[in-house]
Every structure is written in structure tokens, then in C-alpha cells.
């Protein structure tokens, strides 16, 4: 029997499969399709201090091997998430979750993280400093080591749970951002978020998205995400969660060989709502065929053998 268990910041996950923030809602809708307790954990939809409607539509644009989204952090606000969404999820999901927090100032990040970290259901706080779809926040904090470090320090000072910083790929040197977060006290890292992109409607002669640009996700970004996870895992001594274009068990193994401790499945959930279940079912057999007894034994193999 192969062992699919992984450990991240004191949490034991039965497997490394975690639906990514923004692609799984607050989990309850998927619980109507299958037993979501098979998941390693769930990364909740990004949460801000106050309720947000998000950007005006159109907010989604299709493209080959991926999609663009410009949702704009639509969410009911931290009070509704802690008082309603998390308790409702607890009725169908028994494990700890990853709470994703967003902000438009360092103070807002800290206030949101402090409040949501009080929940016993929350095992990790994931701090989104990488959203390309809002102005005055999000990615603005994730494009310089100094700003990323400041947010990390502020959240660490108030959080009752381990803090993972979610990093943007829209930078020159993601490892430098990662090291700044580590130095500031981050317990782990999540990467990558979406790549900035756009589409143009040639009949209307204007951008497809009302926000003009959005975040590119899906299979097209997997090789980029894999390299960034590889480069970051080599540069830091804290756990990394790999995200970006993963849709099959073989890509999970690639991510772990690149140095990831766990992975998050994003856009694939929107294409196939059963994809996480399928990957969890396929992973043990693939490990056995590949001569892999446990995931710890292959973590970072892509660079440790160089």
C-alpha cells in the first residue's frame, strides 16, 4: 500500500489534494455531488472585511487551454463567512480548512485574518497578495519583497493559525518575494495565482472583460507554475503549496517532485466538478506504477538530484 499522507504546518492531510480558493465556493455545493471528506482540505473563497459585489460583467472570457476571470473578489464579508459559511460547511466537512483572506490595506489584511483565525474550523490562513483583478490592493502587495514582508508581519502578529502567503506570478523574481515572506515569519507559501491577461472582441473592437484584463488560469499555465514552485521550493525552508493548471494525478506528482508539499486544484473544478475526486482515486495507483511508496520520498526530487 502506498502512503498519500502529507503534513503541512502541523496538519495531517490524508492526501495532498485541496480545491483552490475561488473555484470551490465554500464547499457545500460540491458536497451535493460527492463526499468531500475525501479531500485533503478546502481553500475557502477569498474573504474581505466587508461584503463585495465584485466587478461588473462580463467577468469570464474563454481562451485556448484556459480561461480569464475578473471576478473581483466577490464575497459576503468576513462576518458572514465566520458566522454562516464556515458553520454550514462544518455540517458536511469534518476536516480543517484553509481560510483565504484579502485586503486593500495592511490593516484590513490583519483585521480580516485575526477575525477568521479565531474559528476552530480554520487550520491555515492563506493571505492573498496576488489577485490581479482588483485595484488598490491584492497584487499591489505581492509585487515587491518589502510590501509582501510588511503584510506577512502584520498578519503573523495577530493570527492564531499558521500563515501562508499566496504569491503572484506577475513578478520578475518570485523567489525573492518568497524569501521576504519567509524572513517576515510566514509559515508557508501558496503559488501561483493567475497570470495577467486579456482578450479583445474583434466585432466590438474592445476588451471582452469589462475590467479590460483578468487572470489567466487553466492547463496553459501549468509549466509556468511548475517552474515557479521549483524555483521557490529551492530558495526557502518553509512548505509550498503548488497551484496552477493541475488537472490530473501525474501533474500532482510533478508538483511534488518540484518541491510542493501539497497542491491546489483550481480551474479544473469549473470544467469537471468531480476532478478532485478523480485525482484522489487515481493517485495511489499511479504512485504504485511509478514505484513511489510515499510522497515525502519524492518531494523536491527534480532539484535535489541535480
- pLDDT tens digits for range 149-207: 999 999 999 999 999 999 999 998 999 999 999 999 999 999 999 999 999 999 999 99
Beta bridge partners of 294: 3
Cα–Cα dist 164/99, whole Å: 10
User: Lowest-confidence range among 8-17, 42-51, 127-136, 176-185?
Assistant: 127-136
Rounded percentage of the chain residues whose pLDDT exceeds 70: 96
pLDDT tens digits, one per residue of 246-267: 999 999 999 999 999 999 999 9
Cα–Cα dist 25/41, whole Å: 13
Q: What is the mean pLDDT of residues 130-150?
A: 69
Cα–Cα dist 180/106, whole Å: 16
Q: What is the mean pLDDT of residues 285-302?
A: 97
Q: What is the mean pLDDT of residues 292-304?
A: 95
So what's the pLDDT on residue 306? Answer: 52
So what's the pLDDT on residue 72? Answer: 85
Output the CA–CA distances (angstroms, integers) from residue 262 to 55, 132, 270, 286, in the order listed: 31, 23, 20, 17
Q: What is the mean pLDDT of residues 15-43?
A: 96
So what's the pLDDT on residue 305? Answer: 65
Residue 277 has pLDDT above 60, yes or no: yes
Cα–Cα dist 215/54, whole Å: 14
**Other C-beta atoms lying within 10 Å of the C-beta of residue 153:** 17
For residue 240, which of 224, 222, 223, 225 has the smallest C-alpha distance?
A: 225
Residue 138 has pLDDT above 70, yes or no: no
Cα–Cα dist 227/218, whole Å: 15
So what's the pLDDT on residue 117? Answer: 96
| Catalytically annotated residues | 131
So what's the pLDDT on residue 133? Answer: 46
Confidence of residue 304 (pLDDT cuts 50, 70, 90): confident
**Across all residues in the chain, what is the average pLDDT?**
93
Residue 302 has pLDDT above 80, yes or no: yes
So what's the pLDDT on residue 140? Answer: 62
pTM (predicted TM-score): 0.95
CATH of 6-304, one of 3.40.1010.10, 3.30.300.30, 3.20.20.70, 3.40.50.10490: 3.20.20.70
Q: What is the mean pLDDT of residues 104-127?
A: 95
Q: What is the mean pLDDT of residues 137-155?
A: 82
So what's the pLDDT on residue 26? Answer: 92
Residue 208 has pLDDT above 70, yes or no: yes
So what's the pLDDT on residue 144? Answer: 86
Cα–Cα dist 185/127, whole Å: 13
Confidence of residue 54 (pLDDT cuts 50, 70, 90): confident
CB 222 within 8 A of CB 245: yes
CB 92 within 8 A of CB 35: no
Confidence of residue 12 (pLDDT cuts 50, 70, 90): very high
Rounded percentage of the chain residues whose pLDDT exceeds 90: 87
Q: Which residue has the higher pLDDT, 144 or 302?
A: 302
Question: What is the DSSP track for the chain?
Answer: --B--EEETTEEESSSEEEPTTSSTTSHHHHTTS-GGGSS--BPPPB-SS-B--PPSP-EEEETTEEEE-----B--HHHIIIIIHHHHHTT--S-EEEEE--SSHHHHHHHHHHHTT-TTEEEEEEE---TT-SSSGGGGSSSHHHHHHHHHHHHHH-SS-EEEEPPSSSS-HHHHHHHHHHTT-SEEEE--PEEE--EETTTTEESSTTS-EEEESGGGHHHHHHHHHHHHHH-SS-EEEESS--SHHHHHHHHHTT-SEEEE-THHHH-TTHHHHHHHHHHHHHHHTT-SBSGGGTTHHHHT-
Amino acid at each position: 500500500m502506498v502512503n498519500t499522507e502529507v503534513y503541512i504546518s502541523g496538519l495531517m492531510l490524508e492526501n495532498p489534494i485541496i480545491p483552490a480558493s475561488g473555484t470551490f465556493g465554500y464547499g457545500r455545493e460540491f458536497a451535493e455531488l460527492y463526499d468531500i471528506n475525501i479531500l485533503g482540505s478546502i481553500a475557502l473563497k477569498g474573504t474581505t472585511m466587508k461584503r463585495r459585489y465584485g466587478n461588473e460583467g462580463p467577468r469570464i472570457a474563454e481562451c485556448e487551454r484556459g480561461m480569464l476571470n475578473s471576478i473581483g473578489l466577490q464575497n459576503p464579508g468576513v462576518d458572514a463567512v465566520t458566522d454562516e459559511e464556515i458553520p454550514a460547511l462544518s455540517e458536511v466537512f469534518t476536516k480543517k480548512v484553509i481560510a483565504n483572506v484579502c485586503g486593500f490595506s495592511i490593516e484590513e489584511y490583519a483585521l480580516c485574518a485575526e477575525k477568521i483565525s479565531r474559528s476552530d474550523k480554520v487550520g491555515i490562513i492563506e493571505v492573498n497578495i496576488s489577485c490581479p483583478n482588483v485595484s488598490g490592493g491584492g497584487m499591489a502587495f505581492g509585487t515587491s519583497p518589502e510590501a509582501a514582508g510588511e503584510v506577512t508581519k502584520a498578519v503573523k502578529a495577530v493570527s492564531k493559525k499558521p500563515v501562508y502567503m499566496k504569491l503572484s506570478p506577475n513578478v520578475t523574481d518570485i523567489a525573492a518575494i518568497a524569501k521576504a515572506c519567509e524572513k517576515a515569519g510566514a509559515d508557508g507559501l501558496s503559488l501561483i495565482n493567475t497570470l495577467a491577461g486579456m482578450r479583445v472582441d474583434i466585432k466590438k473592437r474592445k476588451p471582452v472583460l469589462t475590467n479590460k484584463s483578468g487572470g489567466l488560469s487553466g492547463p496553459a499555465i501549468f509549466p509556468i507554475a511548475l517552474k515557479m514552485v521549483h524555483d521557490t521550493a529551492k530558495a526557502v525552508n518553509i512548505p509550498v503549496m503548488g497551484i496552477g493548471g493541475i488537472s490530473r494525478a501525474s501533474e500532482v506528482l510533478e508538483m511534488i517532485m518540484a518541491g510542493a508539499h501539497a497542491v491546489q486544484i483550481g480551474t479544473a473544478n469549473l470544467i469537471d466538478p468531480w476532478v478532485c475526486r478523480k485525482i484522489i482515486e487515481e493517485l495511489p495507483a499511479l504512485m504504485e506504477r511509478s514505484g513511489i511508496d510515499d510522497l515525502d520520498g519524492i518531494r523536491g526530487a527534480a532539484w535535489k538530484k541535480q
